[in-house]
Chains A and B, each alone.
Chain A
């Protein structure tokens, strides 16, 4: 369900001309870019294939849908082996087009202190950022933000929800 969320978000950003829609007190329900469960999240409304300019290098990076959410183990900011290919595919998009910009949103689960969790979310975002840069993305293409535990993707209080919340979301911002 989270797949192609970045595409939906990108469209919203385009439609709203950068209006900070999630600061409107009574926003239109469709406006909220952070609503991971938002309707239409399964529809590719991006138009252009985000991999359109990319070339396959080595392994078959272009196969399958490209998710924009990287999940992390408890108390870890290391990109797990399961996600290194996904990060590599995003790196390829960035390396192939210097005008593409992404924002990495780091998140933590709800346990522990809130400001320390901001630090943990940032550490995860930076971990993805370094991996993107090692693979050819430039610093100017990448912004990071950490929401700590303030913007959970799942609202439950169990390990399953926590695992969904320890994440970095890759948002294409142009």
Chain B
């Protein structure tokens, strides 16, 4: 059978490709007290009437979405200072703000701006952090997220993830078939960008450690193959196309290798490691059971994977250098799709909980398991790079939607997209500046 390039109606898109509708966020469970903070509208000095982006609005909505802060509405602000010198702490004590953010945007060139901000502790009457960051119109949103990251870390002690991205897959059911899209968006849902579009399934996106590439499975040509696509250029390379299943890619911490699942002609799924430069594969498991969903531990020493060698699926780990697999999960009849937190302390799994598939977080050391989601078919947990929050897919009616939850299960929010059935979210690593 001849297949040619024209037949291949699969579209790899540049990172600057089509943007879909923005995602909206609603908090479904807020289990902690929310600290009142004020993010005062930023001052503006520039050629046009308005600044290119409402920085204060971006910062306030980042803090709001974290579930740990309650931004004070602008109409309740008694003053609107843009520098620390203008700040009257009594006014902010009066409206019960515990922290105040002020800032300014100053245009310094045709497409050059200085964004400065200061964070103040109202009770202590002192500055906690202050920064000036150069920006262009194109980078202003990410600069606002970086400011929010610094503010969040100062106030909570937890690194902010507002400047990170999330990749996910959508499937749109049409009369005549399906359209699958691989999408990358800012973690607040802005800048939704289609990376790949296909009439055949796209599965299992995985970030490279430098956030520049995504590995994924494509069923183009009616069989599975693993690809690595560079986001900035849209350039995609097929890295595994062996007989049978090619699936479940995950990058090594150094980005040079992929762990993946190969099935072979006899369909015996095992964990293999592919060296991306030499293209040599190394087999890590040989059991006749299903071994799949390999995922590298952050320290690179172990690969965690799902295996049903004991009957139902459970999580095992095998030394990345090769060795004997050992079982990791014991609680419950179904634990699959292991993902370690970047700090290596927790393991997220899909866990069968009295008939419902839910996300559970296991403390690696104590093996204590905590169920953190509340759906019936929750899947694909992925940790944020700060190890504090996870994103996963759940169902709303018949469609998949995304939710985030803190690893302690206390703050859960829905991230809903209007576009089709959303699945397989994966949180990017921290961006490298």
Interaction A to B: yes
A residues sitting closer than 8 Å to B (CB atoms) are: 13, 16-32, 34-35, 103, 110-116, 118-120, 122-123, 125-126, 129, 139, 144-148, 150-151, 155-157, 173
B220's contact among A23, A125, A146, by CB below 8 Å, is which? A23
Provide the residues of chain A in CB contact with B3, threshold 8 Å: 18-20
B199's contact among A16, A24, A30, A147, by CB below 8 Å, is which? A24
Provide the residues of chain B in CB contact with A126, threshold 8 Å: 266-267
Residue B223 at the A interface, CB < 8 A? yes
Bound CA span A10–B271, Å? 34
Provide the residues of chain A in CB contact with B175, threshold 8 Å: 29
Interface size on B, residues (CB 8 A): 58
24 CB contacts below 8 A, A to B, read: A16-B7, A19-B7, A20-B222, A21-B7, A23-B8, A23-B221, A27-B9, A32-B177, A32-B199, A112-B313, A115-B204, A115-B293, A115-B337, A116-B293, A116-B308, A118-B247, A122-B267, A139-B265, A145-B219, A145-B223, A150-B171, A151-B178, A156-B398, A157-B377
A23's contact among B1, B199, B248, by CB below 8 Å, is which? B199
Bound CA span A19–B222, Å? 11
Q: A116-B290, A116-B292, A147-B201 are in contact. Are A22 and B177 (CB under 8 A)?
A: yes
- The reply to whether A112 and B177 contact each other, CB–CB distance below 8 Å, is no
Bound CA span A110–B171, Å? 14
The A-contacting residues of B in range 15-65, CB under 8 angstroms, are none
- The reply to whether B200 and A23 contact each other, CB–CB distance below 8 Å, is yes
A119's contact among B8, B171, B223, B290, by CB below 8 Å, is which? B290
Inter-chain contact count A-B, CB under 8 Å? 158
Nearest-Cβ distance from residue B19 to partner chain A, whole angstroms: 17
Pairs of residues from A and B, 3 with the lowest C-beta to C-beta distance, nearest first: A18-B1, A24-B9, A119-B290
B residues sitting closer than 8 Å to A (CB atoms) are: 1-4, 7-11, 171, 173, 175-179, 197-201, 203-204, 219-224, 244-245, 247-248, 261, 263, 265-267, 269, 290, 292-293, 306, 308, 313, 334, 336-337, 350, 352, 357, 377, 379-380, 395, 398, 423-424
Bound CA span A35–B178, Å? 9
Name which of A111, A125, A148 has the most chain B CB atoms within 10 A of its CB: A111
Q: A23-B198, A112-B334 are in contact. Are A118 and B245 (CB under 8 A)?
A: yes
Given A111-B357, A119-B292, 19 new contacts (CB under 8 A): A18-B3, A21-B7, A23-B9, A23-B221, A24-B7, A24-B9, A32-B199, A112-B313, A112-B357, A112-B379, A113-B379, A116-B336, A119-B308, A120-B290, A145-B223, A146-B245, A150-B201, A150-B203, A157-B377
